Amino acid sequence: MPLLNLRSRAGHSRIDPGQCCRPATLSTVIYTLAIQERLPLKSLFRLALGLGSLGVAAVAAAHSVYQLTEVPVLRGYTSGYANSINDNGDVAGYCQTAASAMTYVGFTYRNGVLSSTGKSPKKGNYSSANFVSVTGVVVGSADTGDFRPQGFVKTGNSMVNVFPNNGGNTHALRIDDAGRVYGHFIRRGTADWQGAMWTPDPRKPGRYNETILGGAGFPMAFNSMGKAVGYSSTGRQTAALWNNSGPRAMQLLQTRPEYTSSLAYGISDNGNAVGSGHPAFSSRALLWRARTGYALEELPLLPGDNYGGANAINRAGVILGTSAYGVPGTWNIGPSTPIVWDRGVPAPLDSLLDPASSVGWRIDAAVGINNQGQIVANATKDGISRVVVLTPIQ
């Protein structure tokens, strides 16, 4: 094993070397070194056993080890990108060619079978599958020849526009078990995004009735019950929550005076929300727990880092996000590391991969997590971008 480098990406010391002389903090130092150097879990265990540190083994045991499975790309396309994963492990996303960024096409990956969502029959240029239900119904976005996105629902070979009167700029993000579709749109003649629910019209198959979510804000994610999180678009940009009953009113989530803005990016099925808060020249990973009335918590980042955010959370409270170091008082932010918080402890996702299935892979972004603990991520191998599914195996 090479000698560990105690310098951060910006050249500043991440650890007080004097800590190594204090037995009470030995496990913290070893864990910090291992995380800093992006060591795999097996190396962390070796350090723990070699130095008799049970604390490190306990920290390592807080995290799962993940088996990596590559999702293939559609024929004729060179790269793939994920949007979501459902509780069956089915993935929705899009494939792209190197030639053009605006000719991508949506896909689903279910039970080992890759399928194209196709494009709009009305001269569509692109499409993206944003979510697939456990029964195989797909929701996403596609244009009708003018490059402006329309929200669609696809069942079998039928692709239906959920909001044909909007004239464009609609994204369908989620569908629930009752067939209700959730997303956001820009109302014709305005520049403001709004959230909406589209309910199937029982008297007119293929038609949807719209319910606009309350408040002036932009919902970015929905859970299986139709609750949403995002941000308020009036005044100071503030993380917000939309309930799933009555007028579906918007409520602002707790923030702090030092934050110039805050955003909520993900919500679990039991209502916990995650996102980021932004002090001057910085970003903090945030958690709002439903059971505490959405009291705000800042999540710890990797040792030595000071810039991060959280973007997804499952029912068990496992959280995905990023961690980076930024030079204080500047926008000089170093590279971000995809991380996972398990029981509140952060770890680089790359360090948790099963070596037998992950040789040559680098995780670029952790996109989503289901209630079984499976993670869908964007990753790179040999310079090519692919979607991978990470399944916990221990």
Give the pLDDT score at 299: 98
> What is the pLDDT at residue 248?
87
Q: Which domains does the chain have, with CATH numbers?
A: 17-61 (no CATH), 66-392 (2.130.10.150)
Q: What is the pLDDT of residue 387?
A: 98
The confidence score (pLDDT) of residue 235 equals 83
What is the value of pTM for the model shown? Answer: 0.85
For the chain, which residues score pLDDT lower than 50? Answer: 1-39, 41-59
Burial class (CB in 10 A: 0-12, 13-18, 19+), 270: middle
Alpha carbons 44 and 50: distance in angstroms, whole number: 10
pLDDT per residue over 47-103, tens digit each?
443 443 344 344 455 799 999 999 999 999 999 999 999 999 999 999 998 766 778
Average pLDDT, the chain: 85
φ and ψ of 362, to 5 deg: -130, 125
User: Residue 167's pLDDT is what?
Assistant: 60
Tally of residues, the chain: 394
What local confidence, expressed as pLDDT, does residue 50 receive?
42
| CA atoms of 221 and 232, how far apart (whole Å) | 14
C-alpha distance from residue 331 to each of 218, 327, 386 (Å): 26, 7, 30
Instruction: Please tell me the predicted confidence (pLDDT) of residue 164.
Output: 80
Place of tokens 């956001």: 184
